[in-house]
Amino acid sequence: MAENKVFIFDTTLRDGEQVPGCKLNTKEKIELALALESLGVDIIEAGFPISSPGDFESVSEISKIIKNATVCGLSRAVEKDIEVAGEALKHAKRGRIHTGIGTSDSHIKNKFNSNREEILVRAVQAVKWARRYTDDIEFYAEDAGRTENEYLAKVVEAVIAAGATTVNIPDTTGYCLPHQYGEKIAYLMNNVKDVDKAVISCHCHNDLGLATANSIAGAIAGARQIECTINGLGERAGNTALEEVVMVFRQHANLGLYTNIDPTQLNPISRLVSDTMRMPVQPNKAIVGANAFSHSSGIHQDGFLKNALTYEIIRPEEVGAENSKIVLTARSGRSALAYRFKNLGFEFNRNDIDTLYDQFLKMADTLKEVEDENLRRLAKQYQDSFIA
Ligand code: KIV
Ligand code: ZN
């Protein structure tokens, strides 16, 4: 295994599916799991088997079908949860149990009414229970983002000694700043005995809009798995967006980090997830939003039409998006207008465009966007004015 490969752990079907209104049935989950496998994700978190009979069935059926990716089931650090996850994953070619417990003082006190020593014991016990079913065990230290580093390192060391092969450091509340999250991962890399026996994983939430930045900071500091979702779906403000992480590593090749993801599938799978979950993608969403490759202001359009690289760092075909768009609004310029007329089959010279541009602006001020039909009408009126 190459040292600089970052494993992509997709949790669209678990953390993403927790979004109100995004619940999926087994058939839908299977369809998305197959698409995720084809995309090249390394691990598919298929669900939380003890949470409902339907989710148990989904994890079990996905385990039977998926051949290349690892299939993962979530559990709490509870013996019955882990047993049910083990049962749901029993047909998996590669099955992983993801178990864990809250480690921040807030979780320890408010959720468990417990103390650090007891939580450490429960963490180790959970990993031991999981070992009855598989050797591929991921431990999550919930709310690690707000867990004091020294205690977190103790927990991570203990669960690795107990057999955890991946240790997830979730910023559950999306609290950390990128440098803080990076320093947390670096602290663990430098202070946990046998840290190299496990993969350290980033699971960042987007409450402050920093999920992707935090995951990247974690990977730069040594984490080699990122947990993410298509379109950044997930609890509250969501999780790290898979498409963003993949393209950050591609754009910044000097980081030396890479994933196994086929970028040309990013837009098609974004639409598939959006349609299946009935959850629209915000138009300005990076990589997969409807406006990710649209240019609307005159200055940008002019530069883009001279050379796409002036205003686009990614070619749309690289991420399976439709061609870049020149959108006409009252902020657009003459070169964009001429370009759009030309695409519609109207060749106008510079003087024509000057006249048409004034008429275009009057129209554009009354519309959100000037469409092809408006342009055709404008061109026709202009041509007719010479006949009259
Ligand atoms: O955000 C979180 O802490 C989680 C864990 C269950 C991994 O989703
Ligand atoms: Zn989460």
- The contacts of residue 59 (CB under 8 Å, 6+ apart) are 46, 47, 49, 71, 73, 85, 88, 89
pLDDT digits (tens, 9 = 90+) for 186-197: 999 999 999 999
Q: Contact, 99 vs 126, CB < 8 A?
A: yes
Cα separation of 250 and 153, whole Å?
Answer: 31
pLDDT for the residue 58: 98
| Ligand positioned closest to the Cα atom of 101 | 1
**Three-class secondary structure of residue 250 per DSSP:** helix
In this prediction, residue 217 carries a pLDDT of 98
Please give the share of the chain, as a percent, with pLDDT higher than 90: 98
Specify the pLDDT at position 269: 98
Q: Which ligand is nearest to the CA of 81?
A: 1
Residue 228 has pLDDT above 70, yes or no: yes
Question: C-alpha 343: how far from its chain's center?
Answer: 35
Indicate the pairing of strand 70-74 with strand 43-47.
parallel
| pLDDT exceeds cutoff 70 at 388 | no
- Give pTM, 2 decimals: 0.96
pLDDT digits 0-9 by tens, 104-139: 999 999 999 999 999 999 999 999 999 999 999 999
Tell the CATH superfamily of the 2-277 domain: Aldolase class I (3.20.20.70)
pLDDT tens per residue, range 139-157? 999 999 999 999 999 999 9
Q: Is 126 exposed, middle or buried (0-12, 13-18, 19+ CB in 10 A)?
A: buried
Note the pLDDT of residue 2: 46
Domain range list for the chain: 2-277, 294-387
pLDDT of 1 > 50? The answer is: no
Residue with tokens 């006249």: 355
Please tell me whether residue 160 adopts helix, strand or coil conformation. Answer: helix
Phi-psi region of 113 (alpha: psi -120 to 50; beta: other; left: phi over 0): left
> At CA 158, angle to CA 207 and CA 104, rounded to 5?
30
Residue type at 356 in one-letter notation? L
Mean pLDDT (the chain) is 97
pLDDT 10s digits, 323-366: 999 999 999 999 999 999 999 999 999 999 999 999 999 999 99
For ligand 1, mutation pick of 168, 204, 236 (most atoms within 8 Å of CB)? 168
Give the pLDDT of residue 387. 82
Distance CA 359, CA 59 (A): 60
**Tokens describing residue 179:** 């440098």
Contact, 71 vs 62, CB < 8 A? yes
User: Per DSSP, what are the bridge partners of residue 9?
Assistant: 43, 227
Give per-residue burial for 51-68: e unless 16+ CB within 10 Å, then b: beeebbbbbbbbbeebee
Question: By alpha-carbon position, which residue is closest to atom 7 of ligand 1?
Answer: 140
Residue positions counted in the chain: 388
Supply the pLDDT for residue 3.
Answer: 81
Six-digit token pair at 216? 């990247």
Residues with CB under 6 A from ligand 1: 15, 140, 142, 168, 170, 172, 203, 205
Alpha-carbon distance 311 to 26, whole Å? 42
Q: Looking at ligand 1, which residue's alpha carbon is closest to its atom 5?
A: 142
